[in-house]
């Protein structure tokens, strides 16, 4: 393992804090390192492995497709692209919704903001403080200040308002606003969760001002929140939803889903992407959504949330934020030592900008047995004196 780590450290920019092992393979909720050590992955490959690691449904589909036609761009019709778009519309949208495909979450947000500016002919985007929307220029300008360090000249057309504050939103929307963009659950921040009233209030305010409401569903989409998307979970109808991460189970893919009335206003040439909606991503998207539906993973996410909420009754856990399997365990202390102790027990979890939070983003296939392993590990860790309060 040491050799592979040294090679990567020598040749890849050190922009990430990494788990201290070299990953070799994965299956379901489990991953193995080069030395054969097995880890329970409750971080889900960064919220990507929604239907589990290396799911056979997807690997079989991309193997078959790659032998048939590896790639052609949007200049041709592709049956597999049409099927992927229909699957996303049917699962997360509504009749008449349409899709723009791209390759990542940041791109999906860039394109959603572009659509909003084009169709409203307005300039500014209002964003909720604490959100994370990606690392490209527009997406990072919409993101919280911490991530903009080292980037200048951004954000002149972004207005940041406090998350949850409808009065501030109403005021900002008067300022030539094309859109209001937010994560319904601010995952990176620490699974900070909007109320239904806030999201429904934003829907009403956007309707009044003529701005488009954009939900960044890069983490909340595709069944993770115990509903097909945050739109369903919170009962609020955004004009645009953005997806990536779990969308194609690890084949790079992003998408913007537009309501029928917005779709009708998007003109030819408005957007473009060479690789977006390519055949490999398309078959992976269709296979992923089919597996989420067939295996009732949305329902499982809701059940596992209930299990966690009802059995993780530790005094050290002050609060459990989030929905479904996008959860933040808020500790009564910084979470780093506990996360390290879990890693020593070969359980992978995430941190967050809120230092007290342990983030859980497991595959939606996770079951009571794996949740039980986490619970038992936490019980042992909290009981041990090794973790300083
Ligand atoms: C909510 C949210 N939006 C957008 C992004 C950016 O996605 P990508 O890294 O695919 O560009 C992320 C990535 O973590 C995210 O969590």
Per-residue pLDDT of the chain (389 residues; tens, 9 = 90+): 889 999 999 999 999 989 999 999 999 999 999 999 999 999 999 999 999 999 999 999 999 999 999 999 999 999 999 999 999 999 999 999 999 999 999 999 999 999 999 999 999 999 999 999 999 999 999 997 778 777 777 778 999 999 999 999 999 999 999 999 999 999 999 999 999 999 999 999 999 999 999 999 999 999 999 999 999 999 999 999 999 999 999 999 999 999 999 999 999 889 999 999 999 999 999 999 999 999 999 999 999 999 999 999 999 999 999 999 999 999 999 999 999 999 999 999 999 999 999 999 999 999 999 999 999 999 999 999 654 55
Hey, is 104 helix, strand or coil? coil
Contact predicate 153/309, CB 8 Å: no
Is the distance from the beta carbon of residue 271 to the nearest atom of ligand 1 less than 6 Å? no
Q: Which of 43, 111, 132 to mutate to test the pocket of ligand 1 (most atoms within 8 A of CB)?
A: 132
At 389 the pLDDT is 52
Residues present in the chain in total: 389
Q: Residue 61 — φ and ψ, nearest 5°? A: -65, -40
Distance of alpha carbon 90 from alpha carbon 312, whole angstroms: 35
CA of 134 to the centre of ligand 1 (A): 5
CA–CA separation, 341 and 378 (whole Å): 9
In a mutational test of the pocket of ligand 1, which residue from 102, 107, 108, 133 has the highest number of ligand atoms less than 8 Å from its CB? 133
The answer to whether residues 374 and 347 touch, using CB atoms and an 8 Å cutoff, is: yes
Residue nearest to atom 14 of ligand 1 (CA): 134
Q: What is the pLDDT of residue 92?
A: 97
Please list, residue by residue across 159-182, b when 16 or more beta carbons sit within 10 angstroms of its beta carbon and e when fewer do: bbbebbebebbbebbeeebbbbbb
> Which strand (E) or helix (H) includes residue 127?
strand 124-128
- Which of 300, 323, 334, 313 is CA-nearest to residue 378? 313
Å from CA of 148 to ligand 1 middle: 15
How is residue 212 annotated by DSSP?
Answer: E
- The pLDDT assigned to 154 comes to 78
Domains, the chain, in order of start with CATH, read 56-294 (3.40.640.10)
**Whole-angstrom distance, CA of residue 27 vs CA of residue 366:** 12
Ligand 1 mutation target, pool 219, 238, 275, 359, most atoms within 8 A of CB: 219
């Amino acid at each position: 393992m040491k050799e592979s780590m040294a090679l990567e450290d020598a040749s890849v920019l050190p922009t990430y804090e990494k788990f201290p092992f070299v990953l070799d393979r994965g299956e379901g909720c489990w991953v193995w390192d080069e030395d054969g050590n097995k880890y329970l992955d409750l971080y889900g490959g960064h919220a990507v492995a929604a239907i589990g690691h290396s799911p056979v449904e997807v690997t079989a589909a991309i193997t078959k497709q790659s032998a048939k036609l590896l790639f052609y761009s949007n200049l041709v019709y592709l049956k597999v692209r049409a099927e992927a778009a229909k699957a996303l519309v049917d699962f997360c949208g509504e009749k008449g919704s349409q899709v723009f495909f791209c390759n990542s979450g940041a791109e999906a947000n860039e394109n959603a903001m572009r659509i909003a500016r084009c169709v409203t002919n307005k300039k500014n985007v209002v964003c909720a403080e604490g959100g994370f929307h990606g690392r490209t220029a527009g997406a990072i300008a919409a993101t919280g200040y911490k991530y903009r360090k080292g980037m200048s000249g951004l954000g002149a057309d972004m207005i940041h308002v406090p998350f949850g504050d409808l009065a501030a939103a109403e005021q900002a929307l008067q300022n030539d606003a094309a859109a209001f963009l937010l994560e319904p659950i601010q995952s990176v921040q620490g699974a900070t969760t909007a109320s239904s009233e806030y999201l429904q209030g934003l829907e009403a305010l956007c309707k009044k001002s003529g701005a488009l409401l954009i939900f960044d569903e890069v983490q909340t989409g595709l069944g993770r929140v115990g509903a097909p998307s945050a739109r369903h979970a919170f009962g609020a109808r955004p004009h645009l939803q953005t997806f990536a991460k779990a969308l194609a189970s690890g084949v790079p893919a992003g998408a913007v889903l537009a309501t029928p009335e917005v779709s009708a206003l998007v003109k030819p040439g408005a957007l473009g992407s060479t690789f977006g909606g390519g055949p490999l991503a398309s078959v992976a998207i269709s296979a992923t959504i089919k597996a989420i539906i067939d295996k009732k993973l949305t329902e499982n996410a809701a059940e596992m949330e209930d299990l966690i909420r009802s059995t993780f009754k530790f005094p050290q856990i002050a609060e459990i934020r989030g929905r479904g399997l996008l959860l933040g365990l808020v500790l009564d202390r910084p979470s780093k030592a506990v996360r390290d102790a879990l890693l020593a027990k070969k359980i992978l979890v995430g941190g967050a900008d809120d230092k007290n939070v342990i983030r859980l983003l497991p595959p939606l296939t996770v079951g009571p047995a794996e949740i039980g392993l986490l619970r038992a590990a936490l019980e042992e860790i909290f009981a041990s004196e090794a973790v300083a309060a």
